[in-house]
């Protein structure tokens, strides 16, 4: 079942314009319509699968975010990118001096980032919709991981840091989720959000084949303006916006596969380098952006 949105998920405006048609290359091979809100500029998938129906779009060996498999070029590239990314994530987390040292990772997957934080002395909890990924996180790392429905039951002001690493674009009830995240943060807390950036150079290069559209699993396709508007409206101030440097290469590798039928590592490396260089001059040309928010005083 699909649902047609009549209001923008970020700002509640009611006027949209067609933006792009994109195919689900990894699971269903269906085509989905993206629209752009004329008020805040958010691009979102509309219509989209209902929450009860979205699960089947994750059930494929081609969708690797919930697996630890290292077989095949794409899985190996993903695992390498994930390992390197965790090091960078921990540097960001530790640099924020969050208080208390209690971490909630929303969309924690199989738990590798939480395990790294736990090893550094953080008290960790995770929320993850995929039952198989939750089981792996519990079994492999002895982590406390629950379904995202548990968010509303968490104590107010408990966490010093809440992270969403390429997760917010998957959340159906966008404004309510951000509201609940704010409730769960301490007054000295930090909210860290990483999302694909639709104004990036590689999005321009690959068009509808840009892998980070990832419809229909990605419900929203953020750019800087609507992201800041959405989060600041919930009671945050923006501390910084940073690029994620490893994303361009993996995204280009996968986008090339979607566009040409096979991956070309050399072409992907060139496109990734172009994206990185352009992103240094203009942050909104980066494949993905890392937003760091603090609780508004």
Three-class SS of residue 165?
A: strand
Is the omega angle on the peptide bond into residue 47 within 30 degrees of 0, that is, cis? Answer: yes
Which residues, at least 6 apart from 124, have a Cβ–Cβ distance to it below 8 Å? 102, 103, 104, 105, 114, 117, 118, 143, 144
Place of tokens 């760091």: 292
Q: How far apart are CA 199 and CA 150, in angstroms?
A: 33
- Sequential pLDDT tens for the chain (297 residues): 899 999 999 999 999 999 999 999 999 999 999 999 999 999 999 999 999 999 999 987 655 554 555 455 555 556 666 677 899 999 999 999 999 999 999 999 999 999 999 999 999 999 999 999 999 999 999 999 999 999 999 999 999 999 999 999 999 999 999 999 999 999 999 999 999 999 999 999 999 999 999 999 999 999 999 999 999 999 999 999 999 888 899 899 999 999 999 989 999 999 999 999 999 999 999 999 999 999 998
Tokens linked to 86: 């965790």
Q: Where are the domains of the chain?
A: 71-209+223-295
CA–CA dist 19, 21 (Å, integer): 7
| Angle at 286 (CA atoms; ends 285, 290), nearest 5 degrees | 130
Question: Which sign, positive or negative, has the C-alpha torsion 47, 50, 56, 60?
Answer: positive
Superfamily name with CATH number, domain 71-209+223-295? Vaccinia Virus protein VP39 (3.40.50.150)
């Amino acid at each position: 079942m699909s649902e047609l949105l009549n209001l923008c998920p970020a700002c509640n405006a009611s006027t949209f314009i067609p933006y792009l048609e994109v195919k689900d290359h990894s699971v269903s091979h269906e085509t989905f319509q993206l629209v752009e809100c004329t008020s805040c500029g958010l691009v979102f998938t509309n219509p989209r699968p209902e929450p009860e129906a979205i699960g089947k779009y994750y059930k494929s060996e081609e969708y690797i975010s919930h697996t630890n498999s290292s077989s095949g070029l794409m899985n190996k590239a993903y695992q390498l990118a994930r390992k390197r990314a965790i090091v960078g994530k921990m540097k960001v987390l530790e640099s924020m001096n969050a208080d208390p040292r209690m971490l909630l990772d929303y969309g924690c997957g199989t738990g590798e980032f939480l395990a790294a934080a736990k090893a550094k002395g953080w008290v960790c909890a995770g929320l993850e919709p995929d039952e198989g990924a939750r089981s792996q996180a519990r079994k492999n790392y002895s982590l406390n991981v629950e379904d995202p429905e548990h968010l509303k039951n968490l104590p107010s002001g408990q966490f010093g840091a809440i992270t969403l690493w390429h997760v917010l674009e998957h959340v159906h009830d966008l404004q309510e989720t951000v509201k609940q995240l704010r409730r769960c943060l301490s007054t000295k807390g930090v909210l860290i959000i990483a999302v694909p950036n639709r104004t990036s150079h590689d999005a321009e290069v690959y068009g509808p084949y840009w892998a980070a559209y990832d419809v229909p699993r990605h419900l929203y396709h953020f750019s800087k303006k609507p992201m800041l508007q959405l989060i600041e409206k919930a009671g945050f101030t923006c501390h910084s916006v940073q690029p994620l440097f490893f994303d361009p290469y993996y995204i280009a590798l996968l986008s090339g596969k979607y566009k040409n039928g096979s991956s070309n590592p050399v072409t992907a490396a060139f496109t990734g380098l172009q994206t990185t260089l352009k992103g240094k001059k203009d942050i909104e040309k980066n494949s993905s952006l890392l937003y760091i928010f603090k609780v508004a005083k």
